């Protein structure tokens, strides 16, 4: 029996290698070099299942080429392995299209009707992107949603202060998940937002966990579909009596859906799925931002000193001192804090943008990309490329993105490397995240308020894992840890008091490396 099994396995292996060899015979010599997997036909997909998008980091490090090709059951994926080709990819936007995957995600994540999908396949996607960019561009609308979100953060931090004073355990990921969801939901959807019910918040994170299975229509994804329906139902109830204090970006999204002819049942689903892009990316970014800050005491002290300069402290009153954080000054003056955020994104970013090849395309007068296949742009290999970020590209350098006039140029992007192409945390031009100014400001706010009001220590000794295991299958720009950590926190007495936020005179945007 064992002999028959061994012969069968050998036969299957030989067949797989033969089929892979036959596929390779049809490769055009102008195509990017083929990278073979250890197991023919399915080796790459096994690697993706095991490592998620981190697979491209390990694979790209072994390839000495600006672009390479992998094949999964005969289907080709062209992988960009160098920032140098990003501009060439976007110059060929007519034949290398991102929209097919936007529309596919809309269908899979929102479960909209075929009618809505057909409308979304037209110009509605462009109109929606334009409306979102306008509503979230620096200006009055962005300031309004930012201020409301910040005020909700303050409420959550007051509750945290009470919990810390009562010696309650604070888990970092759980705290950020709850407070970021509540703050962003209040800022975007108003005072009666659908996330007030804890069941909706719990259902969302379960839905998010099951996304990969749901995308493949797996029989094991039933729990994901059930929890998605909980979120859909909450949004349906929310839409029956919309509050007057919703944000401009929410109102603009609804306008585009209505003008495009999307029925209400579908645009409710589309809106309910939008937090997959907001919450799912902001939370893990905030987690690792705080992790990197709090694991370096000297850096934490330096950043605190910088942030203290944008807080206005009044004389002590009967209710204690009053503190007001200037959001506008935070955006422009706290360059080290921003540098730590961007270095966190650079070192931990795993997202891979995708586009479909609509027509045979020659890239950079060198690589032939054949119609019907896919191009992927993983950020990891580019973010760790010494040609872009110098000899210490593999290290966390907190001052890397800080201005060179205040810190040495060691570790900064060389002048010959355009930073907006070499930094892909918010996407690649021209497909940059329209909410990046909003999201970056909220991340800076959350970190600032936490480190000013609390002394925070991560677990130490045997309780501290320097390389925590990650949720490799998670669909996000940064991966969450598999295991949450308990923080050691105390209230900073000199910063205990009544807190508020406001916009000062400076009306500038966050100076992001991506633009």
Domain boundaries, the chain: 1-98, 144-171+183-193+276-351+402-502
Contact indicator for 483, 450 with CB cutoff of 8 Å: no
Contact indicator for 304, 310 with CB cutoff of 8 Å: no
Task: Indicate the burial class of 515 (C-beta count within 10 angstroms; 0-12, 13-18, 19 or more).
Answer: middle
List, in sequence order, the alpha helices (H) in 168-217: 172-189, 198-209, 211-215
Question: Which residue do the tokens 């070499």 mark?
Answer: 422
Taking Cα atoms as reference points, which of 429, 322, 415, 423 lies closest to residue 89?
429
Could you tell me whether strands 352-357 and 361-363 are parallel, antiparallel, or unpaired per DSSP bridges? Answer: unpaired
Count of beta carbons in the 10 Å neighbourhood of residue 359: 13
Peptide bond preceding 127 in cis form (omega within 30 of 0): no
Q: What is the pLDDT of residue 1?
A: 55
Taking Cα atoms as reference points, which of 435, 101, 484, 129 lies closest to residue 282?
435
Could you tell me whether strands 367-369 and 374-378 are parallel, antiparallel, or unpaired per DSSP bridges? Answer: unpaired
What does pTM read for this prediction?
Answer: 0.90
Question: Which residue do the tokens 């067949």 mark?
Answer: 15
Q: What is the pLDDT of residue 417?
A: 39
Contact indicator for 144, 248 with CB cutoff of 8 Å: yes
Contact indicator for 487, 172 with CB cutoff of 8 Å: yes
Question: In angstroms, rounded to a whole number, what is the distance separating the alpha carbons of residues 241 and 27?
Answer: 58
Question: In angstroms, rounded to a whole number, what is the distance separating the alpha carbons of residues 420 and 348?
Answer: 17
Stretches where the chain sits below pLDDT 50 are 4, 6-9, 11-17, 21, 406-418
Q: What is the pLDDT of residue 466?
A: 65
Could you tell me whether strands 322-326 and 67-72 are parallel, antiparallel, or unpaired per DSSP bridges? Answer: unpaired
Element (H, E) at 259: helix 248-260
Element (H, E) at 159: helix 140-165
Rounded to whole angstroms, what are the CA distances from 475 to 101, 210, 359? 14, 9, 28
Peptide bond preceding 227 in cis form (omega within 30 of 0): no
Question: In angstroms, rounded to a whole number, what is the distance separating the alpha carbons of residues 512 and 332?
Answer: 10
Q: What is the pLDDT of residue 19?
A: 52
């Amino acid at each position: 029996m064992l002999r028959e099994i061994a012969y069968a396995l050998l036969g299957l292996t030989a067949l797989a290698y033969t089929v892979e060899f036959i596929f390779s015979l049809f490769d055009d010599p102008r195509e990017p070099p083929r990278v073979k997997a250890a197991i023919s036909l399915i080796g790459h997909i096994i690697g993706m299942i095991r490592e998620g998008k981190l697979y491209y980091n390990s694979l790209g490090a072994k390839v000495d080429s600006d672009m390479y090709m992998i094949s999964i059951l005969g289907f080709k994926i062209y992988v960009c392995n160098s920032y140098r080709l990003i501009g060439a990819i976007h110059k060929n936007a007519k034949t290398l299209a991102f929209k097919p995957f936007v529309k596919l995600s809309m269908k899979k994540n929102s479960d909209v009707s075929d009618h809505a999908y057909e409308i979304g396949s037209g110009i509605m996607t462009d109109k929606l992107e334009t409306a979102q960019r306008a509503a979230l561009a620096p200006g009055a609308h962005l300031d309004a949603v930012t201020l409301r979100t910040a005020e909700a953060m303050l409420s959550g931090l007051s509750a945290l202060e009470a919990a810390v004073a009562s010696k309650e355990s604070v888990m970092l990921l759980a705290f950020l998940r709850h407070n970021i969801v509540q703050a962003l939901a209040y800022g975007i959807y108003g005072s009666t937002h659908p996330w007030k019910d804890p069941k909706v918040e719990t259902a969302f994170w379960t839905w998010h966990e099951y996304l990969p299975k749901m995308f493949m229509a797996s029989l094991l994804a039933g729990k994901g579909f059930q929890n998605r329906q909980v979120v859909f139902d909450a949004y349906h109830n929310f839409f029956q009596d919309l509050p007057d204090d919703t944000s401009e970006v929410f109102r603009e999204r609804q306008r585009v859906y209505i003008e495009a002819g999307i029925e209400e049942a579908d645009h409710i689903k589309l809106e309910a799925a939008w937090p997959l892009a907001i919450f799912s990316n902001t939370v893990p970014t905030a987690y690792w931002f705080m992790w990197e800050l709090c694991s370096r005491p000297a850096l934490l002290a330096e950043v605190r000193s910088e942030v203290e300069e944008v807080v206005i402290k009044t004389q002590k009153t009967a209710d204690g001192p009053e503190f007001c954080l200037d959001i506008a000054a935070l955006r422009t003056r706290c360059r080290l804090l921003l540098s730590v955020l961007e270095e966190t994104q650079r070192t931990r970013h795993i997202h891979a943008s995708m586009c479909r090849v609509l027509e045979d395309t020659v890239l950079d007068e060198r690589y032939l990309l054949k119609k019907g296949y896919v191009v992927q742009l993983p950020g990891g290999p580019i973010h760790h490329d010494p040609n872009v970020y110098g000899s210490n590209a593999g290290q966390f350098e907190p001052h890397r993105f800080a201005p060179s006039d205040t810190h040495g140029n060691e570790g900064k992007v060389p002048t010959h490397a355009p930073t907006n192409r070499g930094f892909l945390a918010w996407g690649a031009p021209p497909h940059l995240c329209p909410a990046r100014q909003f999201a970056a400001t909220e991340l800076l706010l959350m970190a600032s308020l936490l480190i000013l009001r609390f002394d925070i220590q991560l677990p130490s000794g045997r309780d501290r894992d320097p390389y925590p295991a990650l949720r490799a299958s998670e669909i996000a720009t940064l991966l969450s840890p598999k295991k949450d950590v308990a923080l050691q926190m105390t209230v900073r007495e000199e910063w205990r008091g009544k807190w508020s936020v406001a916009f000062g005179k400076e009306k500038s945007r966050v100076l992001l490396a991506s633009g």
